Amino acid sequence: MRLNLSSRTIAIILSLLVATALGILAWLGPSLPLQQGALAAGITIAACFLLLYLMFEALIFQEINNIYEGLEHIKRKEFRRMSNKFLFRPEPLKRMRDEILDMAQRKQQEIDELKRLQVLRREFLADVSHELKTPIFAAQGFVHTILEDDDIDEFTRKRFLQKAASSLDALDTLVQDLVSISQLEKGVVRMRRQNFDLVQLVHDIFEQLELKAARRHVQLALSPPDFPAGGLHVIADRNRIRQVLINLIDNAIKYGRENGHVTVALSESGKSIRVSVQDDGEGIPKQHHNRIFERFYRIDKSRTRESREAGGSGLGLAISKHIVEAHKSSIRVQSEPGQGTALEFKLPKPRARVNL
């Protein structure tokens, strides 16, 4: 039950109570022995203290409860716990101040995080619109040229249609990658773990990327070159890990040195298999290590042009990061300017069967 009393009313009540207690003590004082008088004085002082304490508590927390009601949309439950905790405790105002300062700090951190996410969202939308415009405008240009020029020869017409089709294929790849990364971030994509040979998978990817590597005179190598007949088996989603390795090896080919080497190193590490994709390119400065897995992030404009010319969507590393994290692992970057780049992650080995 809350007392809706003003501070002036409470002051009058306090004055009357104290005056009454002191008046009773003064009236009884001369007729009491010394010991009983001292006891009565002590009881009176204690009663006055208790009355004053309770009245001040009621006054303070009446105002605090009004504040709580005004701030109900922020954190009503926390304020209730705070009010109950302060009743009949020493230094309630100091405790309240500490709690409010702590809450204000948390809210400020939330605001800062929301501002950061808002900036990232604006950058993402700007990047997406730019990446979508590039293939759309290219395809539009080639198609409109064919439609508006009746004198164009068959060879040029076919070449322009091929370029338009290539731009639309790049657009399709970008859209599919956007859908994939959205599903991965929401956690709706389930990893279908199975036992498969990682060595054989790497060889299959080398065959798929052989022509692309040959255009830049890049040699693809597996380290160590000789594995036992059984290969190296892991438990993971084979198609998703294939996607990760294609993205990493493709990046190593594009950004590595011409006439260079791209090496996929496989090694056992306890209960896991360590996978490392290494190139001998320019390397990545340390300040970019954590950001290369962001969507559409490019270290410099030259890489943006190279990636666009090679048909990259700018989402390969971001998708790879999410897939690896869904396998309870993470991609580590080891790179220094002028010393190449190595991206590595781990996959679990199958459990050994115990024959009884």
265-314 pLDDT per residue, tens: 998 888 899 999 999 888 888 878 877 877 767 665 554 445 544 445 56
Distance of alpha carbon 186 from alpha carbon 208, whole angstroms: 30
Six-digit token string for 130: 């730019």
Same domain, yes or no: 344 and 221 = yes
Six-digit token string for 304: 């943006």
Could you tell me whether strands 193-197 and 233-237 are parallel, antiparallel, or unpaired per DSSP bridges?
A: antiparallel
**Statement: the pTM of the whole predicted model exceeds 0.85:** no
Same domain, yes or no: 198 and 341 = yes
Same domain, yes or no: 161 and 246 = no
Same domain, yes or no: 295 and 278 = yes
Q: Which residue has the tokens 């109900």?
A: 72
What confidence tier does 28 reach under pLDDT thresholds 50, 70, 90?
low
Contact in structure between 283 and 260 (CB atoms under 8 Å): no
Say if 261 falls within a structural domain. Answer: yes
Distance of alpha carbon 220 from alpha carbon 209, whole angstroms: 9
Structural domain including 253 reads 194-348
**CB neighbours of residue 49 within 10 Å:** 10
3-state DSSP of 24-46: HHHHHCCCCCHHHHHHHHHHHHH
Phi, psi of 8 (to 5 degrees): -70, -40
Contact in structure between 171 and 138 (CB atoms under 8 Å): no
335-355 pLDDT per residue, tens: 888 888 999 999 998 876 544
Six-digit token string for 294: 């962001």
Same domain, yes or no: 256 and 155 = no
